[in-house]
Amino acid sequence: MAKTEKSKAKKPAKKPAPKKEVTKIDSIAPTRGRTFVGKVISDKMPKTVNVEWARQAYLYKYERYYPTKSRVKAHNPEHIKAKVGDMVRIAECRPISKTKKFIVIEKMEAKK
């Protein structure tokens, strides 16, 4: 079979996508998804902090919201070193361990 002229035509070259700036956090575990701001309530585990923040949950039966807290374990990079009482911003990332799926990306304010 003979090739048609369409197959001989060259496709236009694709422009390369702009490269994303790689930060220290992205080199540890690239972030994606949700971000939260919370307070460090425990730093007893190595390279891990327990972060807590308040939120409102809806109770369908009474058609009201009630206050509750969310707690997650987050990776604490060595260059951030968050301590108990610090306000931190955490972001979702790939699973680092069985229970750690967040990473501390910045320390908002130190404890006073």
Query: Taking 70 as the threshold, does the pLDDT of residue 6 lie above it?
Result: no
Beta bridge partners of 51: 40, 72
Fold of 38-112: OB fold (Dihydrolipoamide Acetyltransferase, E2P) (2.40.50)
**Per-residue model confidence (pLDDT) at position 48:** 96
Beta bridge partners of 93: 31
pLDDT (average), residues 61-65: 97
Nearest Cα to 28, choosing from 83, 97, 94?
A: 94
pLDDT in tens, 76-104: 999 999 999 999 999 999 999 999 999 99
pLDDT in tens, 34-54: 999 999 999 999 999 999 999
Half-sphere exposure (Cβ direction) of 1: Cα atoms closer than 13 Å:
4
Higher pLDDT, 59 or 1: 59
